Structure 1
Amino acid sequence: MRHTVDFLLTDWLHISALTDRPRFADHSAETFSQVLDACEKIARDKFAPFNRLVDTEEPRFDGEKVILPQATQDAWDAYAASGLLSAAQDYDIGGMQLPYTVELAANAFFSKASVSINASMLSVGNANLLMVHGTPLQQQVFALNEFSGRWSGTMCLSEPQAGSSLSDVATRAVPDGDGFDADPLGPRYRLKGNKMWISAGEHELTENIIHLVLAKIPGPDGKTIPGTKGISLFIVPKKLVDTEAKLTGERNDVALAGLNHKCGWRGTTNTLLNFGEGKFKPGGQAGAIGYLVGQPGEGLRCMFHMMNEARIGVGMAATMLGMAGYEASLDYARQRPQGRPAGPGGKDAAAPQVPIIQHADVKRMLLAQKAYSEGALALELYCARLVDEQHTGAAAAAKEAALLLEVLTPIAKSWPSEWCLEANSLAIQVHGGYGYTRDFPVEQYWRDNRLNMIHEGTHGIQAMDLLGRKVVMDGGAGLKLLATTINTTIDRAGQVAGLAEHGATLAAALQKLGAATKAAWSTGDPQDALANATPYLQAFGHVVLAWVWLDVALAAQAALAEGRQPADFVQGKLQCCRYLHAYELPKIDAWLAVVAARHPVCRDMQDAWF
């Protein structure tokens, strides 16, 4: 994996060019490599050896606290000590001012080693949100202590009765007395409600847990505003703190209502939390104390800063689980002897058995895994590179990067979570019956990866976001820009022997995607278009990955020609490109057919018919 990461960063994304920008001027290719080296070592030493342990020793609640294996505490401490929590932050607050692309690549090692121990994503996202939308004091007290690892963070959106429908959030926040707006930490409210599926919502790994909670506030008439307009965002610490970030000794009214017992990700506590049930009474009153973030009614706008960042993180987690399964099944296929190749005269039963990697169908399964996981890795790093461009590029380039990122974020989350899960299924298949046992790690990788199609926005939500918003916003500007970007790659491929035909295939696929998009919306009725949003998402993702692999293949061929990469390494990349175009890209015809026809079969199905 490391060779591929280095290739993508250096030969494909040309990450060292970022060091010409003032923010990254103190860095070099060497410092980037040193960061990756350090993270790879911590992941190998503190995370990977305990991946099975945290799967079998699930979090448990003894009535007072959640108990986790000591290995989880050791891993968190090592991660925090590495400084990676604040890797992309300014020097003056203890950060390293690393490009986000390098930060994401470094975090990939932890996700691959043990995705459920690596629960840092939410803490970083929580703190990053506060650095954009919080007050200077909120940043100083809460965000900086999350970046240091002293405290950790969560995001609290879903509720038992609402799920992904945030307009149905029932948690309420009311001003905490007449002087509610005089608290230096922000306007102070009292919250009451329940939140579900809160990752890392209760534990003893850190001194405090900082919850970011969505809740509805009263309107001017004192009544709750329906829908999402009344949703605001609040900082709700587990333990109350003062303006100097010292614990006051008082517990906030946030109580663990239960632990969810999951199929995978068992090393991360997943919780149901009660806010304001009265188990704890800060200041002698029931109701969890929360400090308003941003303006009233703008909770979703603030929270989407964290959610979009988390979606790239979910995509990378899915990618790395696919990569872990691929490497395990590749190793197994090289060592497992079984069967004999069939020659012109049939099989020679007296001949020795061969490793199963010599069988064509096993090669098919391994090649699919390689194409899925390495392609997904390239996609996630490309999106991270867009984030760096958005924040540090020239104005025109930054604007284009932001627009591309809007369109690609649903794909960055959904495509790896679906197809790297398929890679994990193929990894089990390569192992045969052994893959279905706990004696080998691939069944755990599948269980861990199954969550990624659900959290941070299900597949269906990503599909509706893509077809319902992203490709039609601003008159389709994002889709047009993506098409222009893809066509640039197609034009380059047209000049290269062996890749020109893939460019032509991709051009045809892109044309079909555009035509289906127009057909889906031709009636102007969202119900017509969105009934087949998920097939559209799948087709869109395959077109994007066919483009990514073609662009990577161009970089690989150039690196080979210039002597920067070995032949076998490059041939592996080229074969993945060929596989994606020959075996995967043709699938879009079936998906786009129902989209373009606005096929009503799913929409028209009636409850009674089931």
Structure 2
Amino acid sequence: MRLRSTIDFLLYDWLKTEELNSRPRFADHSRQTFDAVMDICERIAREKYAPFNRTVDTQEPQFDGEKVILPECTYEARKAFAESGMLSAAQDYEIGGMQLPYTVEAAANCFFAAASISIGSNMLTSGNANAILVHGTEMQKQVFAANEFNGRWAGTMCLSEPQAGSSLSDITTRAEADGQGFEDDPLGPRYRLKGNKMWISSGDHELTENIVHLVLAKIPGADGKFIPGVKGISLFIVPKKLVDTEGRLTGERNDVALAGLNHKLGWRGTTNTLLNFGEGKYPVRGGAGALGYLVGKPGEGLKCMFHMMNEARISIGMAASMLGLAGYYASLEYAQNRPQGRPIGEGGKDASKPQSRIIEHADVKRMLLAQKAYGEGALALNLYCARLVDEQYTGSPEAAGQAKLLLEVLTPVAKSWPSEFCLEANSLAIQIHGGYGYTRDFAVEQYWRDNRLNMIHEGTHGIQAMDLLGRKVVMDGGKGLQLLAGRINASIERAMGRAQLSAYANHLAKALAEVGAATKSAWATGNPQEALANAVPYMQAFGHMVLAWTWLDVALALLDKDEELAIAAHKGGIAAMRYFFHYELPKIGGWLQVVKSRDMTCAQMREEEF
């Protein structure tokens, strides 16, 4: 109920999601239909996910040489999720979707992430199908995307390789035109792929009857040679099992072989794989290599794939937020029930008095407030980004253009800030539990392990930081940053009219000015090496400024709803906002100092000096 009330407030009182129903796409919906979706997802998460979070952590996927073995609860959870319709919640009615706002879909998926992130990682299937909808042919949409949305098939994205993680220009997987019916296959131009892909989440399993891999591979140029760098990278649909134009399995296994499972620190309920494409284990149709179908134009693989990546990055931010909140709720309950210590009076501690519950200690309150500020603030930011997605696709041309620009700037923050600071929230949850938190008798250690991945996948922390400072805040002459500053200043102006918030508005205005000045100073010499040497501290400061704005704007909505702050939950929201401004926002000065001075301490450190 605590999570639900928070989500309801953010959806309806802050983001005004009901107003979307005035738009033609969402005209069939109402607050009642949104609530019904939330009710169903909350119930499935409570019944099919939460009770088995520890089960999937301890009963890791096993490979018997032919197939992956998962605990039965994973099958039941996946079936319930697929039958709920959430795989296609935001899609058109014509393809079996519900035409829900993406904001509502994102909010409803929060319950699964909080209940068990490693069971609930269905995001790749939806993202895979969405990428095909945007870039695929009509036949590819009907055969592959439709069967992913209806739950029959699952999807992956295959980018990284053992020797090339985030450096996609260094991938070595190759695709060459299949000599047998290259242009004639109704599923698209047919290629033969050979290579290896690493870190593929849900890369093999028996949860669905088929798996649709989206694979990046290099194709040869006109001279028959493979082009170095990213220019020759194209995107291919490579199904685990071959299908016909009606979406029926042909009975043939494609040459995609599971080479092994990666045994992870967290997210253990989700298989993570090394896949071999075209190694010859499953020869198919008399040729060498796995059969794949080109998606989009040759050489535009990254453009097609990054449609999926941007969605995945918002989903990762949401996953990190939910794990942070799951740890917060667990440590809050523990603190409310764990007796330890006694209050200190004028004469010191009185051992004859009953013990205090640890929630009565100021430092425990500090750790709880930090978790609340991190988790609820990160949730609000990601729901705001989801709302921008709806604005981008259903708003007026001007509003859509602004939403697209804001998303460009905010996506690196929405992914990375929660993955860093909600991980810190999980660490604080362990600390509140004391020694018990370090044992597997309590869930908080698993939340930390699960959350540690989120700083890495879908673009590491450092990569997101370089994207933010190196591209997003300077693109188009800084238009995105200027637009964001305009939104922040609008909130500051509103808050200046509230006696309870005017001081915080001034603090945020100062932080915004400091970030703007640091951005200019970083690029003052025009030297990318100097500008980006401290990209991560820049992103931390930028993220803190964005989260302070988010909290101030949420506080305005809280005051609009309950001027006297009579409701306890609203008092807690204002306290979390105060905590963030008092304890967190002042940190940006140190981060920005190295950015403004273009400090090269780290960049110029020589290997032999370590």
Pairwise TM-score range, normalised by the shorter structure: over 0.9
Match of 1:263 in 2: 265
Query: What secondary structure sits across from 1:256 in the alignment?
Result: strand
2 CA distance for matches of 1:266 and 1:178?
Answer: 41
Residue 568 of structure 2 is aligned to residue 568 of structure 1:
yes
Match among 238, 241, 247 for residue 239 of structure 1: 241
Query: What secondary structure sits across from 1:257 in the alignment?
Result: strand
Aligned AA for 1:107? N
Aligned AA for 1:319? S
1 CA distance for matches of 2:180 and 2:7?
Answer: 56
Match among 417, 420, 423 for residue 419 of structure 2: 417
Structure 1 gap ranges (5+): none
The root-mean-square deviation of aligned C-alpha atoms, in Å, is 0.8
1 CA distance for matches of 2:327 and 2:76?
Answer: 25
Aligned AA for 2:395? G
Query: What secondary structure sits across from 1:186 in the alignment?
Result: coil
1 CA distance for matches of 2:221 and 2:206?
Answer: 38
Match among 172, 176, 188 for residue 174 of structure 1: 176
1 CA distance for matches of 2:46 and 2:465?
Answer: 36
2 CA distance for matches of 1:462 and 1:277?
Answer: 34
1 CA distance for matches of 2:195 and 2:66?
Answer: 21
Query: What secondary structure sits across from 1:182 in the alignment?
Result: coil
Match of 1:438 in 2: 440
2 CA distance for matches of 1:119 and 1:337?
Answer: 37
1:133-174 CA deviation, whole Å, 9 max, x = no partner? 010100000000000110000000000001110000100000
TM-score by length of structure 1 reads: 0.99
1 CA distance for matches of 2:243 and 2:346?
Answer: 78
Match among 250, 253, 276 for residue 251 of structure 1: 253
Match of 2:115 in 1: 113
Aligned AA for 1:291? Y
2 CA distance for matches of 1:160 and 1:185?
Answer: 30
Match of 1:592 in 2: 592
Query: What secondary structure sits across from 1:183 in the alignment?
Result: coil
Aligned AA for 1:296? P
Match of 1:32 in 2: 34
Aligned AA for 1:607? E
1:39-79 CA deviation, whole Å, 9 max, x = no partner? 00000000000000000000000111000000000000000
Match of 1:449 in 2: 451
Match among 379, 387, 391 for residue 377 of structure 1: 379
Aligned AA for 1:224? F
1:187-242 CA deviation, whole Å, 9 max, x = no partner? 00000000000000000000000000000000111111111111000000000001
Query: What secondary structure sits across from 2:344 in the alignment?
Result: coil
1 CA distance for matches of 2:371 and 2:403?
Answer: 29
Deviation at 1:29, TM superposition (A): 0.6
> What is the 5 A alignment of 1:497-576?
497-561=499-563, 566-576=566-576
Structure 2 gap ranges (5+): none
TM-score by length of structure 2 reads: 0.99
Match of 1:18 in 2: 20
1 CA distance for matches of 2:101 and 2:566?
Answer: 28
Q: Contact (CA 8 Å) 1:211, 1:238: kept in 2 or not?
A: yes
> What is the 5 A alignment of 1:339-350?
339-350=341-352
Match of 2:8 in 1: 6
1 CA distance for matches of 2:515 and 2:604?
Answer: 24
Match among 389, 392, 403 for residue 390 of structure 1: 392
Match of 1:131 in 2: 133
Match of 2:336 in 1: 334
1 CA distance for matches of 2:180 and 2:205?
Answer: 34
1 CA distance for matches of 2:532 and 2:56?
Answer: 40
> What is the 5 A alignment of 1:85-104?
85-104=87-106
Deviation at 1:286, TM superposition (A): 2.2
Distance change in 2, residues 1:132/1:566 (3 Å): farther
1:19-45 CA deviation, whole Å, 9 max, x = no partner? 000000000011101100100000000
2 CA distance for matches of 1:381 and 1:38?
Answer: 19
Q: Contact (CA 8 Å) 1:372, 1:420: kept in 2 or not?
A: yes
Deviation at 1:394, TM superposition (A): 0.4
Q: Contact (CA 8 Å) 1:379, 1:548: kept in 2 or not?
A: yes
Match of 2:407 in 1: 405
User: Sequence identity of aligned pairs in percent?
Assistant: 72
Residue 58 of structure 2 is aligned to residue 56 of structure 1:
yes
Deviation at 1:181, TM superposition (A): 1.4
Deviation at 1:566, TM superposition (A): 4.9
Q: Contact (CA 8 Å) 1:535, 1:591: kept in 2 or not?
A: yes
Aligned AA for 1:603? A
Q: Contact (CA 8 Å) 1:280, 1:286: kept in 2 or not?
A: no
1:414-436 CA deviation, whole Å, 9 max, x = no partner? 00000000000000000000000
Q: Contact (CA 8 Å) 1:202, 1:271: kept in 2 or not?
A: yes
